[in-house]
Amino acid sequence: MAQVFQNSEIILTEMSEGSLRLMGETIKHNNMCSRVKTENLNWGEDAGKMYKFREMKLDFIIGSDIIYIEQAFQLLAETILQLSSQDTKTIIANADHGNLSKFEEFIRSGPYSQKLLLQEIGKEWQHELFQADDIKIYLIQPI
């Protein structure tokens, strides 16, 4: 994303300190320190930080392989909702660890059904080299 959107500001978030350190090294290695930052974020837990991010009017929230623990569905959905302005697009690419359909149902029929719209991005929109049968890509937007 940083390469494609040359004027963008990017924040990589994680709850794991070890992962944050590795992200920092990767950013340095790619000479991206001026535009790419890291920040500790535990889904749903830091209201002040959520508020700060939301105020930045994020264009995209990108997640990779973050849907796997059913107990975290609510925290993840709440975080997406809190970080989203009206135009924010959340894109999540995820391997199916067995509960993607439960996540779809949680968003579409659960407590977020009137707040978030979840759509699957069809294979016809995905680059043929970078798609796989067991990986789904979702677009989630606030309603």
Ligand X SMILES: C[S@@+](CC[C@H](N)C(=O)[O-])C[C@H]1O[C@@H](n2cnc3c(N)ncnc32)[C@H](O)[C@@H]1O
CB nearer to ligand X: pick between 15 and 143: 15
**Contact with ligand X (CB under 6 A): which of 5, 9, 57, 65?**
65
CB nearer to ligand X: pick between 39 and 104: 39
Contact, 57 vs 85, CB < 8 A?
yes
Q: Which stretch binds ligand X (CB under 6 A): 15-23, 100-108, 110-118, 125-133?
A: 15-23
What DSSP element (H or E) covers 29?
Answer: helix 17-29
26 binds ligand X, rule: CB under 6 A: no
**Contact with ligand X (CB under 6 A): which of 32, 62, 75, 135?**
75
- For residues 34 and 45, give the distance between their C-alpha atoms in angstroms, rounded to a whole number: 27
Judged by CB under 6 A, the number of residues near ligand X is 13
Spell out the long-range contacts of 25-34 with Cβ–Cβ below 8 A and sequence spacing 24 or more: 30/2, 32/2
CB nearer to ligand X: pick between 25 and 124: 25
- For residues 71 and 102, give the distance between their C-alpha atoms in angstroms, rounded to a whole number: 11
